[in-house]
A and B are shown apart, each in its own frame.
Chain A
């Protein structure tokens, strides 16, 4: 298949970016989106041009490194997958594909499609951990946890921190990410001692880093490659309200 790409090219964080048109010819339906970009990049290198920079690592949808906005949707048109799991069979011959980086003040572009997501790490550093020294790993099921809670905690823990929720949010808010991290620890007994300090610290850091706020649009849930629910945002709000009176 032959495709037309409109790719965002930006030399550095402080330079102005622009869209550049590329043609990707003779691409197999079975190629992944990144294999298609790899082919385009090989041709660019042969021509002596700068290749398109993008972040990627595991290429199997579990690491959270990749991410770009494809035709207006983070991670592309298919629900529940990361960009690396997107395949060219999803597109038609002759399609024009617009490729942009995740855009948020708190996640500035480093180069082309690569963004700096260290602000998300700062949110984790503000409370996304349990500091009790627990010694060696315990026997499984030594602490009884209701099945419903452990399932919910696992759903929240599915977050890979890719930043698609921020990219999709009309307010560039990191509330889905933050709420998943707050809930995954806050639902379990080990997370209780620091539960309210955690939610306060993580929300404060999220705002200090320049993310927006949640107005319950729901775009984040629809863009999330792990399909994390906005119910966790309600849970975060509840914990934050309780923390205000502790």
Chain B
């Protein structure tokens, strides 16, 4: 018991929580991105997919129940991810109260320095995104259940698409460092494979960012339109 407690108490343990919760969030993001791409198969296919999400688990679960389970699990995972980030941040802030006059950047990548504010941008974006496409209160012409129409009308606004793309770039930086960092934290460090961690993280990041951004860009370019 003492050992599990020491795991929880230490920053290494908190970072293991951050890495594992991050992997779950990452898998969820992959699923979300692949789901979004159904928009290219037309209104019917996309609305059918959106409706299908609410019917997952049928006949064992009633309409929308599975989605609510997923929502609560995701909320718990995000809280764990943020709690571990906040507690290691507070510890690190106390570890150097007086900073340097001159600083030379010695970090491996720019992405690692964006993790904290990048995470805050993502949090703000997620709240807006839920109000926009799920609740609908931030959407001017929201129709419950009409996922395709809501998406196209929403992304026709340059500001909405611009904020979306900025948030996805922040997500890209977060993922690029996060995926590599999770490998470090979980000791995925096999000498044969460790040089592949950076390029693989970059490829996955590009795949996800381009996948997400293709949707608003296609709406603005008139490729995805209302029939």
Contact = CB atoms under 8 A, between A and B. Distances in A.
B188 to A, nearest CB: 8
B115 interface: yes
B6 A234 contact: no
Interface string A60-98: 000000000101110001000000000000000000001
Interface in B9-39: 9-16
B181 A213 contact: no
A219 B3 CA distance: 30
B104 A73 contact: yes
B187 A235 contact: yes
B137 interface: no
Interface string B79-121: 0000000001001101111111111101111001101000000
B184 to A, nearest CB: 5
B4 A105 contact: no
A245 B16 CA distance: 14
Nearest to B85: A215
Contacts of B100: 69, 72, 100, 103
Given A171-B92, A241-B186, A103 B98 contact: yes
Contact of A170 (B15, B113, B188): B113
B174 interface: no
Nearest to A106: B95
B138 interface: no
Contact of B3 (A77, A234, A246): A246
Contacts of A216: 108, 112, 177, 180-181, 184-185
Interface residues of A, number: 50
Interface stretch (A22-30, A123-131, A133-141, A202-210): A202-210
A151 to B, nearest CB: 11
Interface residues of B, number: 44
B112 A218 contact: yes
Contacts of A210: 94-95
B166 interface: no
A52 B12 CA distance: 39
A240 interface: yes
B108 A241 contact: no
Given A100-B100, A170-B107, A207 B92 contact: no
A199 to B, nearest CB: 9
A238 B189 contact: yes
Contact of A73 (B106, B187, B189, B194): B106
A173 B95 contact: yes
A234 B16 CA distance: 11
Given A212-B96, A241-B12, A243-B7, 7 more contacts: A103-B96, A215-B115, A216-B185, A237-B184, A237-B186, A240-B12, A246-B3
Which 8 interchain pairs have the tightest Cβ spacing? A238-B187, A212-B95, A213-B11, A72-B104, A218-B108, A244-B7, A171-B92, A212-B92
6 contacts: A105-B96, A210-B94, A235-B187, A237-B12, A244-B13, A245-B3
